[in-house]
Structure 1
């Protein structure tokens, strides 16, 4: 699954959970945490595989359930310590949804369930079938981006591409309904900063 698709799925899942359980929209920190965590496995494994050749494929420690679960628990505990338990939960939702999403995506695209991608360092017998040349992270990313562009804007896009396009539109509308978290907090922070600057200038002139 593409990184932006993970981000979309993570945000939608957490936002719907917030509305169902908390009767509230995600805050800016939570929205950032779920989106960041939803792409973090790829940010860990893809550069290590494609750029540095540490792993043969982009499914290794970052995608491993043996790493993901302890990391999510640790981040959750840390967030609770700082009085931000919902941010910790958002991180766990984003990160842990990434793993089964890649398995399902492989089945939809290739009609093959590859559970090995979440079992590093075990079950690496299929690694060689999915190996990429170590051509550099940026180069490999843009190659895959071109493939995605061709698939999405072809004369006969796949059902999967159309579904994800619809999911993107739904996520955008949901984000706006939630009050555009992250953007909202950023705008408010800039506004407060400007107001503070005006106050300081006014005070300095009045002295």
Structure 2
């Protein structure tokens, strides 16, 4: 799944949970943590596999449920210590939604080998086509088929939901940039 597809799935899931459980839209900092969490598995695995050749594939280490089993308690412990449980939970929702969104549609037809990454390194992944790096992946590796167009549609729906939620995180990000750059002082 493309980065915007992961972001869309994570935001749509998070906004539904936040509205149903708390009766309000997502807050700024948790929304930013969610966005970061939704990209983290690829930010770890893809460079380590495609650019540095350390991992055997772009969905291995950070895409494994074994890493999630270690990550969840650590993130919650740190979040609780920093009095930011909502931020930690948002990050984890983004992270875990990434893993589930990566399950390809072929799984629905019974091709379970394509979800082997969830149990890496116990189960080996099917071989990937070689990728020369992140830029090569974006320019040549992926094609625009139905699955990719569905992701664009999900992203459009997520943008509308984010806009209706008051665009959480946008004002906070701009305020932080202004403070760091000394703009408007």
Q: TM-score, normalised by structure 2?
A: 0.86
Call closer, same or farther: CA 1:42–1:72 in 2, change over 3 Å.
same
Call closer, same or farther: CA 1:139–1:107 in 2, change over 3 Å.
same
Q: TM-score, normalised by structure 1?
A: 0.78
Moved more, 135-144 or 49-58: 135-144
Q: How does 1:46-61 map to 2 (within 5 A)?
A: 46-61=46-61
Q: Kindly indicate whether residue 8 of structure 2 is the aligned counterpart of residue 5 of structure 1.
A: no
Runs of 5+ consecutive residues of structure 1 not aligned to the other structure: 152-157, 198-207
Q: Which of the numbers 128, 146, 167 marks the counterpart of 1:180?
A: 167
The CA distance in 1 between the partners of 2:104 and 2:161, in whole Å, is 24
Q: How many residues align?
A: 181
Which residue number corresponds to residue 119 of structure 1? 119
For residues 90-129 of structure 1, give each alpha carbon's deviation from its aligned partner in whole angstroms, at most 9, with x where no partner exists.
0111111122221244436x862223111111111x43x3
User: Where has structure 1 moved over 4 Å in runs of 4 or more?
Assistant: none
SS in 2 for 1:174: helix
Q: Kindly indicate whether residue 69 of structure 2 is the aligned counterpart of residue 72 of structure 1.
A: no
Quick one: higher RCO (CA 8 Å, sep 6+), 1 or 2? 2
TM-superposed deviation, 1:144: 3.2
Q: What is the aligned-residue RMSD (CA, Å)? A: 2.2
Contact in 2 for aligned 1:46/1:137 (Cα 8 Å) = yes
